[in-house]
């Protein structure tokens, strides 16, 4: 698309290219793509390690899975932007999206989203049938169950959305071991339970935006105190999950438990703070670090089991 602007003034070429790239990355939600690829790779890596297979001898599976997952996640994110074109202008944090500014036309966004999803599925089915099927399940869960159905209707929309966010590690695992072991479902549960406190923290920060867009997020419908109680409950549910991955060793169990304790302390502290939004920001940042450290540590500890 950038080549179509090649006849513009030379002085304007660099800024235009930079702006296009920024808009494109915003359209596919590159942050979400990257964070989900960490969990995809973790599932794939653990499946290789636990089945005593070496990824270097099966690099094709690695490439098919990573590329395919990146494409379906990016395509689903673009589809979400397409679906939310009517409400995004009402939210201050989303007014810069290219679907709102008009930089990307809706028809182009839809075509890109569908193309990415179809091509991504071809890659995933090349890895394994199970990976391809799970990829379809993830797309449907995010686009249909969350974006089109629950987001605008139900306060439980965050929990529904957590289904799609928990599928990426299953895709990675299924590419290597299509039958899915207990470890794969442990990763699914960790991701599923991690997401509500993570997104509730973000929702608290953007409560007025969601209220303006008439989106029934928990802080909007039930208030901050009720949201804090729910966040605490979800964090508590994380505690037993590391023990489902005993194969990773005692070191991993200790690290994961320490991370859980830290998040629990922070969640409890929320009931005493005077600045709810500042606390919500801290919870959000902790949740991002939690997920990154936990999944990267799984990759590292799996090498030594």
In the predicted model, is pLDDT for residue 2 greater than 60? no
- Structural domain contains residue 278: yes
> Who has greater pLDDT, 66 or 181?
66
Contacts of residue 155, defined as CB under 8 A and 6 or more positions apart, other chains included, come to 216, 217, 218, 221, 222
Provide, rounded to the nearest whole percent, the portion of the chain with pLDDT above 90: 81
Q: How far is CA 98 from the centre of its chain?
A: 20
Provide, rounded to the nearest whole percent, the portion of the chain with pLDDT above 70: 94
Q: What is the CATH number of the domain that holds 99?
A: 1.10.600
* Poorest-pLDDT segment among 9-23, 79-93, 184-198, 245-259: 9-23
The reported pLDDT for the residue numbered 54 is: 80
Q: What is the pLDDT of residues 201-223, one digit of tens each?
A: 999 999 999 999 999 999 999 99
Give the mean pLDDT of 244-253.
95
Give which of 173, 193, 198, 186 is closest to 253, Cα–Cα.
186
- Structural domain contains residue 1: no
Give the mean pLDDT of 171-179.
95
Q: What is the pLDDT of residues 257-304, one digit of tens each?
A: 999 999 999 999 999 999 999 999 999 999 999 999 999 999 999 988
In the predicted model, is pLDDT for residue 177 greater than 80? yes
- Structural domain contains residue 31: yes
> Who has greater pLDDT, 251 or 92?
251
- Structural domain contains residue 9: no
Give which of 169, 217, 218 is closest to 189, Cα–Cα.
169
- Structural domain contains residue 8: no
Q: What is the pLDDT of residues 85-141, one digit of tens each?
A: 989 898 888 888 888 888 889 999 999 999 999 999 999 999 999 999 999 999 999
Confidence bin at 15 (pLDDT 50/70/90): very low
- Structural domain contains residue 2: no
Cα–Cα–Cα angle for 180, 124, 298, nearest 5°? Answer: 50
Q: Which residue range(s) make up the domain with 236?
A: 17-303
In the predicted model, is pLDDT for residue 151 greater than 60? yes
Confidence bin at 75 (pLDDT 50/70/90): very high
| Angstrom distance (rounded) from CA 176 to CA 100 | 40
- Structural domain contains residue 233: yes
In the predicted model, is pLDDT for residue 37 greater than 80? yes
| Angstrom distance (rounded) from CA 174 to CA 168 | 10
Backbone conformation region of residue 105, classed left if phi is above 0, alpha if psi is from -120 to 50, else beta: beta
- State how many domains the chain has: 1
- Structural domain contains residue 6: no
């Amino acid at each position: 698309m950038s080549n179509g602007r090649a006849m513009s003034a030379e002085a304007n070429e660099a800024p235009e290219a930079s702006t296009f790239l920024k808009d494109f990355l915003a359209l596919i939600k590159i942050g979400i793509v990257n964070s989900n690829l960490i969990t995809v790779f973790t599932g794939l890596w653990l499946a290789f390690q636990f089945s005593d297979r070496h990824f270097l001898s099966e690099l094709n599976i690695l490439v098919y899975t990573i590329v395919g997952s990146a494409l379906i996640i990016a395509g689903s994110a673009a589809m979400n932007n397409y679906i939310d074109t009517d409400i995004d202008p009402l939210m201050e944090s989303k007014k810069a999206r290219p679907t709102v500014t008009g930089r990307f036309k809706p028809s182009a966004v839809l075509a890109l989203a569908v193309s990415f999803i179809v091509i991504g599925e071809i890659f995933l089915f090349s890895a394994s049938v199970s990976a391809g099927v799970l990829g379809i399940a993830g797309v449907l869960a995010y686009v249909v169950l969350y974006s089109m159905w629950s987001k605008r209707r139900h306060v439980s929309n965050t929990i529904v959305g957590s289904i799609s966010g928990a599928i990426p590690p299953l895709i990675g695992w299924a590419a290597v071991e299509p039958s899915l072991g207990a470890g794969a479902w442990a990763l699914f549960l960790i991701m599923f339970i991690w997401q509500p406190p993570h997104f509730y923290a973000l929702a608290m920060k953007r409560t007025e935006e969601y209220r303006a867009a008439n989106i029934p997020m928990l802080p909007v419908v039930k208030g901050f105190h009720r949201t804090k109680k729910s966040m605490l409950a979800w964090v508590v549910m994380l505690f037993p999950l590391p023990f489902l991955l005993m194969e990773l060793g005692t070191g991993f169990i200790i690290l994961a438990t320490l991370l859980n304790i830290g998040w629990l302390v922070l969640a409890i502290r929320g009931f005493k703070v005077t600045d709810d939004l500042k606390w919500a920001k801290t919870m959000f940042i902790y949740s991002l670090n939690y997920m990154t450290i936990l999944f990267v540590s799984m990759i590292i500890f799996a090498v030594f089991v």
